[in-house]
Structure 1
Amino acid sequence: MRVAYAFRPFPANYKPSCDATLPAAPTPYYPLRTSSSIPAIQTQQRQLTSLYVNGVPYIVIRLIGEGLHSRVYAAYDPRTNQSVAIKVVKNVDPADSHEHSKMFFKEIRYLTKLQTRNPYVIRVYNHEYDSKTQTGKIVMESGHDFRFMLPLQASPKEKQMTIAHAKFYWSQMVDAVAKLHRNGIVHSDIKPENFIMTPEGQIRVIDLGLSFRMSHTQSSILRPFAGTPEYMPPEVCQIENGHYSRQGRASDIWAL
């Protein structure tokens, strides 16, 4: 039986570069696993028929991710029959309405700016914010949670990821973060689940909700403590003035 593969050979002379175009993906010694191989979040799955963003209806398939203030749905655009992901962010505390909308528009602003400057940033197709319900929606390209895809890329023979695959994914992650920094943006929550893999095997960085701008002349700034402790450098975990910590580009590099 002939099996079609989604990846092509990894070029031996490829070197990570902030100016590099998206590299071709390496050919695995096994088929690329599909989304059916990835565990879906079963919590409170709703049989939604559609979500409207700026008047455009998107057909919702299932809930694929859930956080403290947001949910992500697998959906598709019936106008183009294109698969998409829709992130729905809702404020749960009316007292924080201003900060909530401010954070949402900041993420949209960063994503919009980076669409033409960083090929590793998630592509955004549509977005809106409803001030009455304090709900934001972002329609993005679809992909697989990189946290789940990593173990699925292990070679059945070697029981681990090949060097070619490790170089391929690692180079893209480094390029993604380098381009963020080049544009004066620190992600501040780099971790496997904040990357997705497209069906073509390309990596995209997502979730810029905690991101912030920082001058190239600064090495760190004092900000409210936020992020994922498992991926934080020791200095960020040193709280100052109650709930502040020093964060900067080095924090992203440590997380990588």
Structure 2
Amino acid sequence: MRSEGMTDSGPDDGPDRVIAGRYRLQHQLGRGGMGVVWEALDTSLDRKVAVKGLLYPGAASADAQAKWVSRARREAQAIARIGHQNVVAVHDVVEDGNQVWIVMELLNSRSLADLLREQQYLSAPHAARIGLQVLRGLAAVHEAGVLHRDVKPHNILFRPDGRALLMDFGIATFEGATQLTRSHEIIGTPQYLAPELLGHTPADPRPASTASDLWALGVTLYEMVEGRRPFDGATSFEVFIAVRESPVPPMKYAGPLAGLITALLQKDPDQRPDAAEADRMLQAVTEDAAAPDTPPVRPVGPDRPKPPEPVDPIDPVKPKRRNRWKIPAAVVCVALLAGVAWSSLLGLEGDSEAAGSSEEPPSREPSRTVYHCDRLRVGVKGDQPGLSVEVKGTHRGFEVDLAKEIARELGCKEDQVTFQTVTTDNRNGYLTTGKVDLVLATYSISEERERTDKVKFAGPYFEALKGLLVRKKRPYGDLSDLRRDSEAEVCTAEGSVYEEWLKEEGLGGQTVTRDGYDDCVRDLLDPGTDVYAVATDDVIVDGLARKYAAKTRALPSRGEPEHLGVAMDAAHQDLHEGVCAALKAIVGKSPGKTSRWAEIYNEHLQPITGQPAPREPELTSC
């Protein structure tokens, strides 16, 4: 599957090229929909616009190319005629050579994805207002005989006045038309694809429909009110299985939207409401003056209790929260200064609030009821040799064993620790929605991430350089060779630090992203794709190069080291203190002895790097 789309820039596309004698390409805005999107200058009106090519140049015979050009022209013209306040404005449709370009207004607005990253979730009325505007824009698109095929938060923007705007028609298609691609791939974003599209084969292409666009709107509404997507997984394949077979996860916060969301997410497209019925149901929620405009109070963190049942959306009740991570700072300080083993203070019951009371004499022995471990859920990756891999439901690797040591220091027994596979794209959501308590998944420490992801890091527990895995038969020696090969794509995980790094290295226009590195590696190993390199941490690159030695090799590591940390919900300062104390015990060592950190490194990573454990990391985020 190519969730990024199917078009590449042609060999002559580049800054200063003038399209149709009018639109001068200036710089790439990114890859999405069906290809490269450029910021351009409309030299006739002296205004900035966005332009996108709709076809893959040179991918078919002359006759097939001519048919595609004709269809793309009709489709783009249909989009241009929509003229709806909730649909991005299309200024022009032009042909240049064997390419059709769609010229759109240039927007620098925030997206719904940005809003959800900041707020995590929205109230039902707020979500309904946004959903209603998107639905009306979508209905206008459908009335023009066009399907969007990629409705998701990233493609919903807000104008300064707050109006929602549906954009990115790069993979749109006429209703009932079969989308032709290089190899009949499924086109779209896995988490938002309707189940009827996932049986896509050359013999049975399963054309998209208005109902499949409405399914994607249902997924988006669910994500707005619940703070997570209803169907997810560590790989695209797992997502597909969940979409096709799993029931809609129960909704706790959807309130009056629950009925519509459930209806839109019916597996059978014939059972979903049409746009008119969905409009009536959304309008009813937006007009309910009694409904609150702020989300019901939701507890955060690992001990998220269930809200009272039933929760009245008109008068939400704030549930009382028992914070099982409560570890008073006074107890921590006394324990560490006294040299008391941290694990001896954990797992015992009592009044933790009384432990920090200033009314007691200073010599009072600290309370022994600091933490009761009933479970600890840890998010790790499943596709990173040496660090963390999942084989038949069992996780193993450096990060997995380090997590077990942290859990042991926190007083958790082995059967109280469970591991959940996460990806670069979903690990933050798993934390903030309470699906996991800790994440050890090559999560790079940064102040910006702590602000935007609302997480807190402990560590670092590892330092990694930037690495590139390339196809063995390609004559690449370094990044400059990749830059010269303009048709080569470099794949990395969506949301990783490597997106920005590749852009800084002049490879932004050649970068494609996937849900996880396993998808990138799968494309790298497939000679039918244009992915010729994968960017990730150097130790992962070394592990993959050993695993796929016949087809891949590692380029020399580069750049400043990334500091990987243990991530947790920012609301749990007490848990952060506990994890930091655990890490200090694990990296600490007695004279003449090896630290537990080094022992874990030597077991899992020395066979990959060929070097014994380096010096233990300095815990600058503790």
TM class, shorter-chain normalised? 0.5 to 0.7
Asked if structure 1 preserves the Cα contact closer than 8 Å seen for 2:75 and 2:146, the reply is: no
Q: Give 3-state SS (helix, strand or coil) of 2:92's partner.
A: strand
**Partners of 2:53 and 2:24 in 1: CA distance:** 13
- Runs (5+) with no aligned partner, structure 2: 1-8, 218-622
How many residue pairs end up in the alignment? 196
**Partners of 1:68 and 1:111 in 2: CA distance:** 15
> Deviation string for 1:30-66 (max 9, x for gaps)?
xxxxxxxxxxxxxx9xx95534233224362x31121
1:158-237 superposed matches below 5 A: 160-161=121-122, 165-202=126-163, 203-207=165-169, 209-213=171-175, 223=178, 226-228=186-188, 229-237=190-198
**Partners of 1:201 and 1:124 in 2: CA distance:** 20
Asked if structure 1 preserves the Cα contact closer than 8 Å seen for 2:23 and 2:40, the reply is: no
State the Cα distance separating 1:255 from its structure 2 match.
0.9
Query: Residue in 2 aligned with 1:18?
Result: none
Which one of the candidate residues 21, 46, 69 is aligned to 1:55?
A: 21
**Partners of 1:55 and 1:85 in 2: CA distance:** 16
State the Cα distance separating 1:172 from its structure 2 match.
1.4
State the Cα distance separating 1:105 from its structure 2 match.
0.8
Query: Residue in 1 aligned with 2:562?
Result: none
1:18-167 superposed matches below 5 A: 49-58=15-24, 60=26, 62-67=27-32, 69-77=34-42, 80-89=45-54, 90-95=56-61, 96-115=64-83, 118-131=84-97, 134-143=98-107, 144=109, 146=111, 148-151=113-116, 154=119, 160-161=121-122, 165-167=126-128
Alignment-mate amino acid for residue 52 of structure 2: K
Asked if structure 1 preserves the Cα contact closer than 8 Å seen for 2:88 and 2:167, the reply is: yes
State the Cα distance separating 1:84 from its structure 2 match.
1.7
Query: Residue in 2 aligned with 1:250?
Result: 211
Q: Give 3-state SS (helix, strand or coil) of 1:244's partner.
A: coil
Asked if structure 2 preserves the Cα contact closer than 8 Å seen for 1:196 and 1:206, the reply is: no
Asked if structure 1 preserves the Cα contact closer than 8 Å seen for 2:33 and 2:169, the reply is: no
Q: CA 1:80 to 1:162, structure 2 compared with 1: closer, same or farther past 3 Å?
A: farther
**Partners of 2:202 and 2:51 in 1: CA distance:** 37
Q: CA 1:146 to 1:91, structure 2 compared with 1: closer, same or farther past 3 Å?
A: farther
> Deviation string for 1:85-141 (max 9, x for gaps)?
1113441414241343134213222213313xx33222122332123xx22322210
> Deviation string for 1:173-231 (max 9, x for gaps)?
11111222334433333233444444544313331543213xxxxxxx58457432332
**Partners of 1:183 and 1:253 in 2: CA distance:** 16
**Partners of 1:146 and 1:88 in 2: CA distance:** 22
Higher helix share: 2
Q: Give 3-state SS (helix, strand or coil) of 1:129's partner.
A: strand
**Partners of 1:186 and 1:245 in 2: CA distance:** 14
Alignment-mate amino acid for residue 96 of structure 2: D
**Partners of 2:148 and 2:15 in 1: CA distance:** 34
Alignment-mate amino acid for residue 142 of structure 1: L
**Partners of 2:150 and 2:33 in 1: CA distance:** 15
Alignment-mate amino acid for residue 205 of structure 2: Y
Q: CA 1:242 to 1:235, structure 2 compared with 1: closer, same or farther past 3 Å?
A: same
State the Cα distance separating 1:251 from its structure 2 match.
1.0
1:1-16 superposed matches below 5 A: none
Q: CA 1:74 to 1:200, structure 2 compared with 1: closer, same or farther past 3 Å?
A: farther
> Deviation string for 1:130-163 (max 9, x for gaps)?
23xx223222101247364333552xxxx64455
Q: CA 1:239 to 1:173, structure 2 compared with 1: closer, same or farther past 3 Å?
A: same
- Runs (5+) with no aligned partner, structure 1: 1-43, 214-220
Q: Give 3-state SS (helix, strand or coil) of 2:29's partner.
A: strand
Q: CA 1:238 to 1:200, structure 2 compared with 1: closer, same or farther past 3 Å?
A: same
Q: CA 1:69 to 1:189, structure 2 compared with 1: closer, same or farther past 3 Å?
A: closer
**Partners of 1:92 and 1:185 in 2: CA distance:** 25
Q: Give 3-state SS (helix, strand or coil) of 2:187's partner.
A: coil
> Deviation string for 1:64-84 (max 9, x for gaps)?
121485210123445545332
Query: Residue in 1 aligned with 2:414?
Result: none
Query: Residue in 2 aligned with 1:11?
Result: none
State the Cα distance separating 1:239 from its structure 2 match.
4.0
Q: CA 1:149 to 1:193, structure 2 compared with 1: closer, same or farther past 3 Å?
A: same
**Partners of 1:126 and 1:53 in 2: CA distance:** 12
Q: CA 1:208 to 1:130, structure 2 compared with 1: closer, same or farther past 3 Å?
A: same
Q: CA 1:148 to 1:247, structure 2 compared with 1: closer, same or farther past 3 Å?
A: closer
Q: In angstroms, what is the RMSD of aligned CA positions?
A: 3.5
Q: CA 1:114 to 1:67, structure 2 compared with 1: closer, same or farther past 3 Å?
A: same
Worse-matched range after superposition: 50-59 or 167-176? 50-59
**Partners of 1:93 and 1:48 in 2: CA distance:** 20
Higher strand share: 1
Query: What fraction of aligned residue pairs are identical, expressed as a percent?
Result: 22
Worse-matched range after superposition: 167-176 or 181-190? 181-190
Q: Give 3-state SS (helix, strand or coil) of 1:245's partner.
A: coil
Q: Which has the higher contact order (CA 8 A, sep 6+)?
A: 1
- TM-score if structure 1 supplies the norm length? 0.61
